[in-house]
Amino acid sequence: MSNRKNRVLSTQNMTRIAILGAISAVLFMWPEITIIPPFYKLDFSTLPVMLGTFAMGIGPGVLIVAIKDLIGLTHSGTAGVGEIADFIMTCAMLIPASLLYQKNKSRKGALISLAIGSVAMIFVAALVNAFLLFPMLTKAMPSLEFILTSTIPFNALKAVVISGITYLVYKPLSPILHGKRR
C-alpha cells in the first residue's frame, strides 16, 4: 500500500496532476458550445481528467477534477453549485471507467470502460440535475419530461464526445502521460 501511495504522490505524478488540472480548468472556462436550453454548455474540460485517470488511476483523476473545479470557483456564476455538480458527474464517469480500464488496458477495454462510465455519468447527471442543480439554482423541481428530453440527451452527447475524443487520443498520448520518451 505504501509503495502504491508513493507512486501516486511522486513528484512526477503530482506535476502531471497539476498540469492536467490546469489544462482542464482552462478548458472549463474557455468559451463553450451552448446547447438548448442555454444553461447547458458543452465544454471539453473532462478530457484531461479522463486522460489523467486512464494514465494514473482514480485518485489522480479525482484530484485533477478537484483542481479544475476549485479553480472554476473563482469564475463561477453558480455560487459553486455548478462546480459541485460537475465534480459529482465527472467522478461518476471516471470511477467506473478507471476501475474497468485498469483491469483491461486495451483498446477494447478502453471502449467498454468509457461506455460504462458514460452510462454512469448520464444516470448521475439526471439525478444531480433533478435534485441539486435545479432546486438550488431555480428553487423549483424540473419536470420528468425536461429531464428526459433535455438533461439526459445533453449529457449523452457530452459523454459520447468526451469518450470518443479520449478513445482516439489516449493511446497516442500515452507515452507522454506516462512520462516515457518516444
Torsion of CA 111, 115, 120, 126, to 10 degrees: 140
- Can you give the pTM of this predicted structure? 0.89
- Quick check: 153 pLDDT over 90? yes
Give the model's pLDDT for residue 142: 72
- Quick check: 114 pLDDT over 90? yes
Give the model's pLDDT for residue 173: 94
- Quick check: 17 pLDDT over 80? yes
| Greater model confidence, 167 or 31 | 167
- Quick check: 39 pLDDT over 60? yes
Mean per-residue pLDDT of the chain: 89
Give the model's pLDDT for residue 170: 96
Instruction: pLDDT band for 5, please (50, 70, 90 cuts).
Output: low
Torsion of CA 88, 163, 49, 6, to 10 degrees: 100
| Topology at the third CATH level for domain 2-177 | Arp2/3 complex 21 kDa subunit ARPC3 (1.10.1760)
- Percent pLDDT > 90 in the chain is 63
Instruction: pLDDT band for 144, please (50, 70, 90 cuts).
Output: confident
Average pLDDT over residues 142-165: 92
Name residue, grid cell 439526459: 152
Distance between CA atoms of 145 and 83, rounded to whole angstroms?
Answer: 25
Cα dist. 83→28, 63, 128 in Å?
Answer: 10, 14, 12
Give the model's pLDDT for residue 59: 96
| Greater model confidence, 33 or 154 | 154
The DSSP code for 148 is I
